[in-house]
């Protein structure tokens, strides 16, 4: 019996079988959790998500369309969960977006970021964690756990990461404030700062291949991470094994964040 047996929760952000969310779901399902899934609206996105989830061995998966920037979509998803299940135990927020035109390594690109690009990145990448938590906490009467996905570019300036780095910094701060706010309700809120992985969103960042090569050379473990390592860390944080942890940014990056050069 896995350590997530009897637990149920929502996993957002599965685009394909290379996304962080997919690896997290893989670990959760292996440990016995029942996972519910959202996908971007549209038949193509539903089909893509369904195929990825079925690879995990989940038959007839629970799927719901959701544009995280749309409050009506958020309400519909959480109202449906409440109607069908009543409660959940965990939430996985794996959603981020910034216009890739502004994720280039060219000098001056970040400084010239337009207001709309900046606010959209902040809304989708950071505010949505708070928006989901606000709706989710009422479905956790006995407590629960939430995680989001970040990256080292939230803490240090990474060429090409630009406005996404600012949004991820806001996501990490949001994690701490949610943890403070929801702690009295026995709801834990954490964030995983994963190393670079070849996901759809990561490939939009300028110079991403160079980032992978640099990390492999410089990280204390002299290698890049795997999606499965992030998935297992997420399962730990979402389970009772992580019961003493909240408000934390946990690094799964082969130690890269600990070095100076």
Q: What is the rounded CA–CA span in Å between residue 103 and residue 87?
A: 39
Exposed, middle or buried by CB within 10 Å (0-12, 13-18, 19+), for 174? buried
Query: What residues are labeled active site?
Result: 151, 161
Q: What is the rounded CA–CA span in Å between residue 250 and residue 168?
A: 14
Integer CA distances (angstroms), 53 to 9, 58, 77, 145, in order: 14, 6, 18, 22
Question: What's the pLDDT at 207?
Answer: 67
Question: What's the pLDDT at 71?
Answer: 98
What DSSP element (H or E) covers 35? strand 34-39
Three-state DSSP at 23 gives helix
Residue with tokens 């403070």: 180
Q: What is the rounded CA–CA span in Å between residue 58 and residue 205?
A: 32
Q: What is the rounded CA–CA span in Å between residue 257 and residue 151?
A: 10
Q: In the chain, which stretches have pLDDT less than 70?
A: 199-208
Name the pTM for this structure: 0.94
Taking the domains of the chain in order of start, what are their residue ranges? 8-252
51-80 confidence digits (pLDDT tens): 999 999 999 999 999 999 999 999 999 999
Angle value at C-alpha 129, between 128 and 134, nearest 5 degrees: 95
CATH of domain 8-252: 3.40.50.720
Q: Please answer whether residues 7 and 30 qualify as being in contact, where contact means their C-beta atoms are separated by less than 8 angstroms.
A: no
Question: What's the pLDDT at 203?
Answer: 57
Looking at 42-143, which runs of residues are DSSP E strands?
A: 63-65, 90-93
């Amino acid at each position: 019996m896995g350590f997530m047996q009897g637990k149920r929760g929502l996993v957002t952000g599965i685009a394909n079988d290379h996304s962080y969310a997919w690896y997290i779901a893989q670990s959760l399902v292996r440990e016995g959790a029942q996972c519910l899934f959202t996908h971007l609206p549209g038949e193509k996105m539903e089909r893509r998500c369904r195929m990825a989830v079925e690879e995990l061995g989940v038959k007839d998966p629970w799927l719901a369309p959701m544009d995280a920037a749309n409050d009506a979509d958020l309400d519909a998803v959480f109202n449906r969960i409440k109607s069908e299940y009543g409660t959940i135990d965990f939430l996985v927020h794996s959603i981020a977006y910034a216009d890739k035109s502004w994720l280039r390594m060219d000098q001056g690109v970040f400084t010239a970021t337009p207001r709309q690009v900046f606010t959209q990145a902040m809304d989708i990448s950071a505010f949505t964690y708070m928006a989901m938590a606000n709706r989710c906490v009422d479905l956790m009467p006995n407590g629960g756990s939430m995680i989001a996905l970040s990256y080292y570019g939230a803490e240090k300036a990474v060429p090409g990461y630009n406005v996404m780095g600012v949004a991820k910094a806001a996501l990490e701060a949001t994690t701490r404030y949610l943890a403070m706010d929801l702690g009295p309700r026995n709801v834990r809120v954490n964030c995983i700062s994963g190393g670079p992985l070849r996901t759809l969103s990561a490939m939009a960042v300028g110079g991403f291949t160079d980032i992978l090569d640099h990390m492999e050379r410089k990280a204390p473990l002299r290698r890049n991470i795997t999606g499965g390592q992030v998935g297992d860390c997420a399962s730990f944080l979402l389970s009772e094994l992580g019961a003493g942890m909240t408000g934390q940014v946990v690094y799964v990056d082969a130690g890269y964040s600990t070095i100076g050069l």
